[in-house]
Every structure is written in C-alpha cells, then in structure tokens.
Amino acid sequence: MNSIRLRSLPHLLLALVLTFAGIQQTAAQATADAKKEGVAPGATAAATPATAAAPAAGGGDAAAIAAGDALFKGNCAQCHAVNEQVVGPALAGISKRRPISWLIPWVKNSSKVVASGDDYAVALFNKFNKQQMPSFALSDKEITSIIAYVTSQEGGPVGGGVTAKNAAGTDGKDANAGTSGAEEGAGKYVDILLIVLVVVLIVLVVTLVIIGNLMKDVLRGRKDLDGRDVEILEQRFDWSKFYRSPVMRGIVGTVFALVLLYEGVQSVMAVGLTQGYQPTQPIAFSHKLHAGEHQINCAYCHTSVYKSKSANIPSANICMNCHSQIKTESPEIKKIYRAIERKQPIQWVRIHNLPDLAYFNHSQHTQVAGLQCQTCHGPIQNMEVVYQYSALTMGWCINCHREMPLNTKDNKYYDNLVKLHDTKNAGAPFTVSSNGGTECSKCHY
Ligand code: HEC
Ligand code: HEC
Ligand code: HEC
Ligand code: HEC
Ligand code: HEC
Ligand code: HEC
C-alpha cells in the first residue's frame, strides 16, 4: 500500500490521451486505405453486387479499378461524377443501363453513335442540350477499367441518363439522389468506433479519479505513514507550475506558430484566385436562354474561339442580327440600341483573366485538342449569369496537361511523335506533358 504513488495520475491521463490520438490516426489511415482500394469496411455488401454486375469489366479486380480510377480522374471527372450529374449524367448504374458493347464505341466517339441513330444515344444527346462528349483515344481495356471503377464507386440506384423506357425523349427530371455508400459506410464505421472509444476513456478516467480519491481517504485514516508518504498524500497538483513549464510553453508556441503558418500559406495561395467570380453585367444577357434554350452555337457569338488565341466577346452588331426583330420593346434590349446610337461598345465586365505572364491559346485547346468549352468553363449553357468555373491557376493547367492524352487522330503533325513515343514508352499514354506541355516556356514568355 505504501508504494502507491498518486502523482502518477496525470501521467496516466497523458498516456491515455496519447493512445487515443494514436488509435484515431490508425483508424483514419484505415479508412483512407479502404477508400483507395475502393472497398470500405462496412460497405462490402454494396461493393459485391456491383462487381458481380460488371463481369465484362475485367472482373472488377483491384488492379483494373485502380487503373480505372486514374483514367476516370484524368479524362472524365471534369464532366462526370459517379453519383451526381455534373456536365454529363451521373455514371452510377451505367453497367446495368448499357452493355459494354455500347459503352466502348460511345466513349471512343460518342458523336458517331449519335449519328448512327441509336435511340438511346439520340435521346441522351438531346436531353443534355446536344452537348457533345469529347472523343477519347482509349483502348477497350482502359474503358472497361473505367467502368469497373465507376461500378465500384456506386452508392445506390441512380438514373442520371435516360432509361430504356424514356429513351423516346420524354423530359424526365434527373434523379440523382444517390450518395456514395462506400465512403459513407467507412465514415460511419470510424465515427462509431471513435465515439465508443471516447465514452470508454471518459468512464476509465472517472473511475480512476474515484479510486484515487477513495485510496487517499483510506490512507489518511492510517497512522503508520512515514513523512514522505504523508507529503505525497497531501500534495496537490500544481497547475500554475504545469502551465509555466517550458514543455507546455514549447507545445503552445509550436501549435500557435503552425496555425499562423497554415493561415498565412492559405491566404498567400488565394491571392489572385478568382474562381466563382460572377460580376453583374450591364445587360442581363443570359447564356441559359441563348446557348441553352435557343441552342445558339457558342462560336456564333465567340467567333474567334476556334481560330485564334482569344475567344472574342460579340459586338452589339451580332446581337442586332436577332434583336433588330426580337423583343425590341424590352428595356434590356433597348440598352443595346442605345450603345449603337452612341457608337460605344457595351461595357461587359471581364470574368476570366490570366495574368500577362501566362500564355493561353483557345484554338490550341478547342480546335487542335478538340476540348469542349464546358471542360474549362463548366455548364455555361445553364448559367443565367456567367461565373468563373475553374480555378485558372498554374496547377490547374499543369494537372490537365499531365493527364490528358493528346488528340492525335487525323493530325499528321503527331504521326512521327506518336511512333517515337510508343517505341520508347510502350503502353504509357501520350499525354500533353509527354509532348513537353509542362515546360515553363510553353506557357511563360
Ligand atoms: C466535356 C465533358 C465530358 C467529358 C470529359 C466526358 N463526358 Fe461522358 N458525357 C458527357 C455528356 C454531355 C453526356 C451526355 C450525352 C451527350 O450529350 O452527348 C455524356 C454521356 C456519357 C455516358 C452515357 C451515360 C448514360 O447515362 O447513359 C457515358 C457512359 C459517358 N459519358 C462516359 C464517359 C467517360 C468514360 C468519360 C471519360 C473517358 C467521359 N464520359 C468524359 C460529357 C463528357
Ligand atoms: C448570343 C451570343 C452568345 C452565345 C451564343 C454564347 N455567348 Fe458567351 N458571352 C456572350 C456575351 C455577350 C458575353 C459577355 C457577357 C457575359 O459575361 O455574360 C459572354 C461571356 C462568356 C464567357 C465569359 C467571358 C469573360 O468575361 O471571361 C464565357 C466563358 C462564355 N461566354 C462562354 C460561352 C460558351 C461556352 C458558349 C456556348 C455554350 C457561349 N458562351 C455562347 C455571348 C454569347
Ligand atoms: C441568334 C439570335 C440571337 C442573338 C444573336 C442574340 N439573341 Fe438575345 N434573344 C434571342 C431570343 C430568341 C430571345 C428570347 C426572346 C423571348 O423570350 O421571346 C432573346 C432574349 C434576350 C434577352 C431577354 C430580353 C427580355 O427582356 O426578355 C436579352 C437581354 C438578350 N436577348 C440580349 C442579347 C444580347 C446582349 C445579345 C448579343 C450579345 C443577344 N441577345 C444576341 C435571340 C438572340
Ligand atoms: C482548356 C481550357 C479552355 C477551353 C477548352 C475553353 N476555354 Fe475559354 N478560356 C480559358 C481560359 C484559361 C481563359 C482566360 C484567358 C485569358 O485570360 O487570357 C478563357 C477565356 C474565355 C473567354 C473570355 C475572352 C478571352 O478570350 O479571354 C471566352 C468568351 C471564352 N473563354 C469562351 C470559350 C468558348 C466559347 C470555348 C469553347 C468553344 C472555350 N472558351 C473553351 C480556358 C478554356
Ligand atoms: C482540360 C485540359 C486542359 C487544361 C485545363 C489546359 N490545357 Fe493546355 N493543353 C491541353 C491539351 C489536350 C493540349 C494539346 C493540344 C495539342 O494537341 O497540341 C494543350 C496544349 C497546350 C499548349 C501547347 C503545348 C505544346 O506542347 O505546344 C499550351 C501552351 C497550353 N496548353 C497552355 C495552357 C494553359 C496556360 C492552361 C491554363 C490556363 C492550360 N493549357 C490548361 C489541355 C488542357
Ligand atoms: C501549362 C502552362 C504552364 C506551365 C507549363 C508553367 N506555368 Fe507557371 N503559370 C501558369 C499560369 C496560368 C500562371 C498564372 C496562375 C495564376 O494567375 O494563379 C502561372 C504563374 C506562374 C508564376 C507566378 C506566380 C503565381 O502563382 O502567380 C510563376 C513564378 C511561374 N508560373 C513559374 C513557372 C515555372 C518555373 C514553370 C516551369 C517549371 C512554369 N511556371 C510552368 C501556367 C504555366
């Protein structure tokens, strides 16, 4: 009994806290790993039928899913998510909606499938405002692995596309309510585990404090204690000393410095970042109305977008092609007339603006690479007022260049380069960066 050292209580608490932190780390790590694998604890049930439903998709094995993950992020994620509609439909359930024999030609060249008169494809194309999905120079195996990845990420029954029944072209509202079951399952599992651990720890601490106090009481009643034991028994934990100790000061100082550093870095990184910028324009011009409902081609107004470095903003004359006749009494349209009378251009507020140090060329991306406007500008045809959809940072440019395969089809300029690339790195995709698209001088003068 004599040897009981009550002083060790704070130490015990510290040890418990540290153990707890350790467990939390391991648990978080476990979820991260589980997410990477595409199979999460607690979500195996959701993953199994999905894999079974895609036997054609390379058996849905981990390697194919991992490969599909990378390909999906590199090529499809700008426009598609698994469980929600982005620019294109949610892809969940795609392996059930469409056979793989339809999916492969679709991804390779969707406009060809639409042009062939395929009912489903035509209905889908119309439903998405006749937006063309870009063509992809992917192999059959790569496409099946993307489908395997999508299937592994499915959260529930989601109908993003058109069902066989409404393929005739009825305007079914999109049902995109699915959530990612795999991730949620894993998240819940960890949450429950942590809550249980916290409760257990609290109970433990309370019990220990009670036991400690009981023992103190028992010891106080005894007469045979020597001086040292009495001293320990009457000792109170000195918090002021604890606060003033160099260790405590060190910890507080370090945490403070780290928070300050993090905030500093965050605000420096945000300098010049204008994602989401949506100024009010002098005339309530709506892309949703013109490019969406009336389906006026982007290049009808932005005439130089396929030909030159910049996509121009249309002059009032282009508006007059229609508005000399349409809605002539509308106060918004009268603003166009006034601008023309005064011989002054409409003062549109510029939204996208790279700093002068960077070189960006539209025709290289729209004409040569065949990218859709929506890849960079988002669903413009649904915007009442345009906003900046992408970050437009250097990292954004570089990330796409690292992952995007070059559109080398029917482009003689690339024939020799492709051969050279294939002999040197067989199998690796011929991306923009393998052609030097991440060299500083390509974008900086
Ligand atoms: C620039 C945007 C864009 C990109 C990038 C894109 N898609 Fe699409 N996708 C669409 C649109 C829009 C549709 C709807 C059909 C249409 O309008 O042509 C679609 C439709 C589909 C469909 C049919 C979905 C359904 O519900 O029936 C599949 C499958 C598909 N895409 C797969 C892919 C894959 C795989 C990739 C990557 C290799 C990809 N898409 C990249 C825009 C895109
Ligand atoms: C009827 C003419 C017209 C059509 C069609 C049209 N636009 Fe525009 N666009 C404009 C005008 C006018 C502005 C400037 C006012 C504004 O920002 O809304 C503009 C602005 C923009 C901007 C922002 C420019 C900036 O300041 O940074 C983008 C991006 C854009 N359009 C993309 C598109 C895309 C993509 C399409 C096709 C889906 C399209 N536009 C179709 C007339 C048009
Ligand atoms: C190819 C034809 C076409 C062109 C070019 C065009 N518009 Fe329109 N615009 C329309 C149509 C169609 C409507 C819808 C009329 C209706 O709702 O009855 C419309 C409606 C509008 C409206 C809404 C008017 C209201 O009060 O409801 C505004 C504002 C407008 N346009 C501005 C512009 C501007 C600015 C330009 C030039 C950058 C432009 N439009 C170019 C066809 C055009
Ligand atoms: C690879 C990404 C990308 C694609 C694809 C793309 N844009 Fe852009 N767009 C940009 C960037 C970046 C800017 C800002 C350019 C600048 O400030 O120099 C921009 C600016 C614009 C502007 C403002 C005027 C200008 O040139 O600065 C318009 C209008 C525009 N884009 C329309 C379009 C249309 C229409 C399409 C499709 C035909 C399209 N863009 C395709 C990235 C893209
Ligand atoms: C969504 C993908 C994507 C984004 C985002 C993108 N690019 Fe590109 N970029 C491409 C593709 C694809 C090519 C290859 C075109 C070709 O075949 O020459 C390319 C080519 C280029 C080239 C020519 C490279 C060469 O080797 O000649 C330059 C310069 C360039 N991009 C600049 C930019 C800048 C600056 C940005 C950011 C503001 C940007 N790009 C954003 C896809 C992208
Ligand atoms: C694909 C195009 C691209 C390539 C390749 C590229 N940059 Fe950039 N860089 C940009 C764009 C776009 C910006 C402007 C970003 C912004 O405004 O946030 C930029 C900005 C910068 C800035 C200014 C700092 C800032 O964040 O505004 C520096 C410095 C820079 N780049 C250095 C480099 C160096 C060094 C390399 C080669 C290793 C390089 N860049 C390669 C596109 C590119």
C-alpha–C-alpha distance, residues 334 and 328, integer Å: 7
The residues, ordered by sequence, that sit 6+ positions from 81 with a Cβ below 8 Å of its Cβ are 90, 91
Q: Work out which ligand 1 atom sits closest to the CA atom of 130.
A: 17
Q: What are residue 80's DSSP bridge partners?
A: 85
pLDDT band at 380 (very low <50, low <70, confident <90, very high): very high
Q: Is the pLDDT of residue 26 over 70?
A: no
Is the confidence at residue 220, as pLDDT, over 60?
yes
The arithmetic mean of pLDDT across residues 45-62, rounded, is 44
Q: Token pair 């011989």 is at which residue?
A: 343
Residue range 385-442, pLDDT digits in tens: 999 999 898 989 998 898 888 877 777 777 777 777 777 776 677 788 877 888 899 9
Q: What is the mean pLDDT of residues 137-163?
A: 76
First to last CA, the chain: 80
Name the 3-class secondary structure at 276.
Answer: coil
Is the pLDDT reported for residue 50 higher than 80? no
Q: Which ligand is closest in space to the CA of residue 137?
A: 1
Per the model's pLDDT, the better-predicted residue between 365 and 234 turns out to be 365
How confident is the prediction for the chain on average, in pLDDT? Answer: 78
Q: Say what the pTM is.
A: 0.60
**Where do the CATH 1.10.760.10 domains begin and end in the chain?**
44-179
pLDDT of residue 175: 36
> How far is it, in rounded angstroms, from Cα 146 to Cα 78?
14
How far, in Å, CA of 213 to CA of 211, rounded?
5
Nearest CA to ligand 2 atom 16: 386
Cα–Cα dist 27/190, whole Å: 7
Tokens representing 339?
């601008």
> How does pLDDT run across 176-219, given as a tens digit for each residue?
333 344 444 566 788 899 999 999 999 999 999 999 889 888 88
For residue 341, pLDDT over 80 is answered with yes
Task: State mean pLDDT over 133-157.
Answer: 85
Q: Choose one of 133, 297, 306, 352 to mutate for the ligand 4 pocket test, by most ligand atoms within 8 angstroms of C-beta.
A: 352
Q: What is the pLDDT of residue 76?
A: 84
Highest mean pLDDT among 13-22, 49-58, 208-217, 220-229: 208-217
170 CB burial (10 A radius; 0-12, 13-18, 19+): exposed
Fold classified for 44-179: Cytochrome Bc1 Complex; Chain D, domain 2 (1.10.760)
**71-102 pLDDT per residue, tens:** 898 888 877 888 888 778 999 999 888 999 99
pLDDT, residue 174, reads: 36
Whether 133 lines ligand 2, by a CB cut-off of 6 Å, is: no
Q: Is 132 close to ligand 1, i.e. is its CB under 6 Å away? A: yes
Q: Assign 334 a pLDDT band (cuts: 50, 70, 90).
A: very high
Atom of ligand 2 nearest to the CA of 283: 15
Band the pLDDT of 234: cuts 50, 70, 90: confident
Distance 357 CA to ligand 3 centre (A): 36
Stronger pLDDT, 394 or 175, i.e. the higher one: 394
